[in-house]
């Protein structure tokens, strides 16, 4: 704590009191647990690993100074996060974490302590620490029997065997079988595979993953094995956990056995004897980070001799025979030259900083996303500013701060344009978001993305109309907007001749699916497919239910729109603006001429669930979520995507996750499918 000088002490009464250390500690526990849940349970981190590590170091320092303050829920008492999904499996061997260190002094201290206990001949391995999701594989008589995630690291994890078998690096049968062996590795994604997944998410209008680690974690723990296979997960094995029928004297002996059996082990490792050699190996790995095809978040230093490991044992969180050195984020100053503004396939407009090139983590970077105007304003960023650039997760360049002391004399805060840089249409701001979007349905930058959204399952549900077909049709000039979909039937012969959709049979099949969507899709699906910001599946249904038709919505004023349930002023402004754009209305007219349904179905709707909002979670017995949603809406209820204090009920099936916990915290009643049917009764 800074010392006050004599004069400052005279004004002590005016100086705010220093924060209470005990209160700071409790707040740190709360904050770290929040971010741990975002990281482990939800796969949606809000802060970088480095920021988390710095807070965690502060927590450890306080607990060391005040051990009597330590509370049971402290992160220092936890290894991972409680497993909540799927089938839970007991750990045979704890899947512990590693003690993080951040300086050469700490590395030397570890090496020297090992030398003191086991002599100068003690050997170390320095390996890349892969940034992924930990998983153990159990083999019996050479056959893969079980794959399990770390979970809480001590007691149990999640059975992910079926998904693990979809990973190309997972060996199902060992050529040199032994009675039993359990090995542990890290599931990860290459940067190339991650880029493909996020590119597809952007095309489909979905939220992209924050980083490869969270994408890998979310993929491994979901239900559909086809998704796991499509996303191309990878695996490195870094430890032999337990064996029967075979023994190894060293870690490297275990690696040699695994490699003979086709198992992919950590590919970069160094055998060392001295503290200098260990530090040199850490530096080599650090210098190579930028050239790797995947992310690493540090270097692991561990004893090679397994008997020495056994004698040291572990704490409740860490093995005593290994540490993880975490690399500090590399930062450099550079000068902002300009800002490029790009319109993506979903219409989202993104500003990109262009700066004088700098070397970070082994690569040259000259561009970084600025996200939106709010981010720019918060930074206080203007052309000509000196900025601090770093790499997030060792791959993504980001701007950390502006060096105000080096600001140019003619400085002005950068303001994003209000018109689309591609088509010139006015941009709108999404409801409850900071992003600007181009809503011109004929904007060349968004044509493919809008069509992909329009034919998707939640909108017009055109069976077999895949993304690749759409991109080819756009490139060949057959599709320039969504209305062109319904003119494809008149170009059947051209399509067959061009082989874009395959031969005659495939072409006919898709044209029939398009025709079925024209006749069968209700007005709310048509409305939802238009891509109006803030108007998704649920909002489209509410609008059609309230106004009766798309034409009536188009004629409504902002006040009437904003009075619709769950529609705020920003969404109302976006809807009004969309339907008062001449180009959009011309396209709407073509859709109407094509015979799409613009009016609400007169199908009888029950009232037994009127006024109730119901959230669905888990797997329902004998009924899909779409069928359950339709049942609720048919009886006057409303389906919501998340649990809040306003939620009337949580409809819960098997394998429910965090929504159950949230409902119990808020006191939201939880019902099963039978209870829902009982509420509906004769209706």
Q: The CATH number of the domain where 622 resides is what? A: 3.40.50.10190
- Same domain for 98 and 65: no
Closest CA to 218 of 78, 415, 392, 41: 41
- Same domain for 268 and 205: yes
Question: Domain of 116?
Answer: 88-325
**pLDDT on residue 285:** 94
Residue 572 token pair: 């109302």
Q: Would 133 be classed as within a structural domain?
A: yes
- Same domain for 537 and 625: no
**What does the pLDDT look like over 369-405, one tens digit per residue?**
898 899 999 999 999 999 999 876 556 788 989 999 9
Task: Tell me: pLDDT of 570 over 50.
Answer: yes
- Same domain for 464 and 517: yes
pLDDT tier for residue 554 given thresholds of 50, 70 and 90: very high
- Same domain for 534 and 475: yes
Residue 623 token pair: 């009924």
Q: Would 195 be classed as within a structural domain?
A: yes
- Same domain for 92 and 132: yes
Task: List the single range of 438-452, 453-467, 505-519 with lowest mean pLDDT.
Answer: 438-452
Catalytically annotated residues: 129
Task: Tell me: pLDDT of 608 over 90.
Answer: no
- Same domain for 257 and 399: no
- Same domain for 585 and 627: no
**Stated pTM of the model:** 0.53
Mean pLDDT of 183-199: 90
pLDDT tier for residue 431 given thresholds of 50, 70 and 90: low
**pLDDT on residue 499:** 84
Close Cβ partners of 625 (under 8 Å, ≥ 6 residues apart) = 616
Task: List the single range of 129-138, 215-224, 366-375 with lowest mean pLDDT.
Answer: 215-224
**pLDDT on residue 165:** 93
Q: Which helix (H) or strand (E) holds 38?
A: helix 21-40
Q: The CATH number of the domain where 503 resides is what? A: 1.10.150.20
Last residue of a domain, one of 302, 325, 348: 325
Task: Tell me: pLDDT of 3 over 60.
Answer: no
Last residue of a domain, one of 538, 560, 593: 593
CA torsion through residues 623, 628, 630, 631, sign = positive
pLDDT tier for residue 537 given thresholds of 50, 70 and 90: confident
Mean pLDDT for all residues in the chain:
86
Mean pLDDT of 11-15: 40
- Same domain for 196 and 285: yes
Q: Would 175 be classed as within a structural domain?
A: yes
More confident residue, 51 or 421: 421
**What does the pLDDT look like over 243-253, one tens digit per residue?**
999 999 999 99
Burial of 657 (0-12, 13-18, 19+ CB in 10 A): middle
Q: Would 429 be classed as within a structural domain?
A: no
**Total domains, the chain:** 5
Per the CB < 8 A criterion, the answer to whether 151 and 82 are in contact is yes
- Same domain for 177 and 65: no
Q: Would 600 be classed as within a structural domain?
A: no
80/41 Cα distance (integer angstroms):
10
- Same domain for 104 and 69: no
Last residue of a domain, one of 310, 325, 340: 325
Task: Tell me: pLDDT of 17 over 70.
Answer: no
Q: What is the distance in angstroms between the CA of the first residue and the CA of the last residue of the chain?
A: 69
- Same domain for 204 and 351: no
């Amino acid at each position: 704590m800074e010392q006050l000088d004599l004069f400052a002490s005279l004004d002590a009464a005016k100086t705010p009191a220093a924060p209470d250390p005990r209160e700071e500690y409790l707040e740190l526990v709360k904050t770290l647990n929040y971010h741990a849940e975002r990281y482990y349970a939800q796969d949606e981190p809000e802060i970088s690993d480095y920021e988390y590590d710095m807070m965690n170091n502060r927590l450890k320092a306080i607990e060391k100074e005040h051990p009597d303050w330590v509370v049971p829920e402290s992160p220092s008492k936890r290894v991972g996060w409680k497993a909540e999904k799927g089938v839970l499996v007991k750990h045979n061997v704890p899947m512990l974490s590693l003690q993080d260190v951040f300086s050469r002094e700490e590395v030397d201290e570890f090496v020297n302590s090992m030398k003191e206990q086991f002599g100068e001949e003690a050997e170390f391995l320095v390996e890349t620490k892969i940034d992924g999701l930990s998983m153990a594989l159990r083999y019996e008589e050479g056959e893969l029997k079980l794959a399990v995630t770390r979970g809480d690291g001590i007691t149990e994890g999640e059975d992910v065997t079926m998904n693990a078998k979809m990973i190309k690096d997972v060996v199902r049968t060992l050529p040199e079988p032994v009675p039993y062996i359990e090995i542990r590795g890290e599931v990860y994604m290459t940067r190339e595979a991650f880029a493909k997944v996020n590119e597809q998410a952007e095309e489909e209008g979905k939220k992209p993953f924050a980083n490869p680690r969270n994408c890998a974690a979310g993929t491994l723990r979901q239900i559909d094995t086809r998704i796991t296979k499509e996303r191309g997960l990878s695996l490195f094995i870094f430890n032999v956990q337990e064996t029967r029928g075979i023994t190894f004297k060293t870690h490297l002996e275990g690696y040699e056995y695994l490699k003979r059996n086709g198992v992919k082990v950590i590919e970069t490792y160094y055998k060392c004897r001295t503290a200098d050699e260990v530090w040199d190996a850490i530096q080599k790995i650090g210098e190579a980070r930028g050239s790797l095809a995947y992310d690493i978040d540090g270097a692991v230093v561990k004893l090679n001799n397994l008997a020495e490991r056994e004698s040291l044992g572990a704490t409740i969180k860490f093995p005593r025979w290994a540490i993880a050195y975490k690399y500090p984020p590399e930062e450099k100053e550079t000068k902002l030259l300009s800002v490029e503004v790009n319109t993506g396939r979903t219409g989202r407009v993104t500003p990109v900083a262009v700066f004088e090139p700098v070397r970070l983590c082994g690569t040259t970077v000259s561009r970084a996303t600025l996200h939106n105007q709010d981010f720019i304003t918060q930074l206080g960023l203007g052309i000509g500013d000196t900025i601090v650039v770093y790499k997030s997760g060792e791959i993504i360049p980001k701007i950390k701060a502006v060096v105000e002391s080096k600001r140019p004399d003619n400085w002005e805060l950068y303001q994003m344009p209000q018109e689309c840089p591609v088509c010139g249409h006015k941009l709108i701001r999404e409801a409850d978001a900071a992003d600007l979007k181009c809503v011109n349905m004929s904007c060349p930058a968004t044509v493919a993305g809008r069509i992909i959204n329009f034919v998707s399952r939640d909108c017009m549900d055109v069976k077999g109309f895949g993304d690749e077909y759409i991109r080819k049709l756009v490139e060949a000039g057959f599709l320039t907007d969504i209305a062109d979909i319904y003119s494809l039937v008149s170009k059947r012969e051209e399509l067959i001749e061009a082989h874009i959709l395959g031969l005659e049979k495939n072409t006919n099949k898709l044209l029939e699916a398009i025709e079925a969507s024209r006749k069968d899709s209700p007005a709310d699906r048509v409305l939802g497919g238009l891509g109006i910001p803030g108007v998704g599946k649920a909002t489209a249904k509410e609008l059609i239910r309230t106004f009766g038709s798309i034409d009536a919505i188009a004629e409504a004023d902002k006040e009437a729109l904003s009075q619709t349930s769950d529609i705020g002023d920003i969404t109302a402004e976006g809807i009004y603006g969309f339907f008062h754009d001449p180009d959009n209305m011309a396209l709407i007219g073509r859709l109407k001429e094509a015979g799409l349904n613009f009016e609400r179905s007169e199908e009888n709707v029950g009232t037994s669930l009127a006024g109730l909002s119901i959230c669905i979670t888990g797997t329902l017995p004998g009924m899909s979520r779409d069928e359950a949603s339709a049942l609720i809406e048919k009886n006057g209820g409303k389906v919501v995507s998340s649990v809040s204090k306003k939620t009337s009920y949580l409809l819960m099936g098997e394998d429910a996750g965090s929504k159950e916990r949230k409902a119990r915290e808020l006191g939201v009643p939880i019902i099963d499918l039978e209870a829902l049917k009982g509420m509906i009764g004769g209706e």
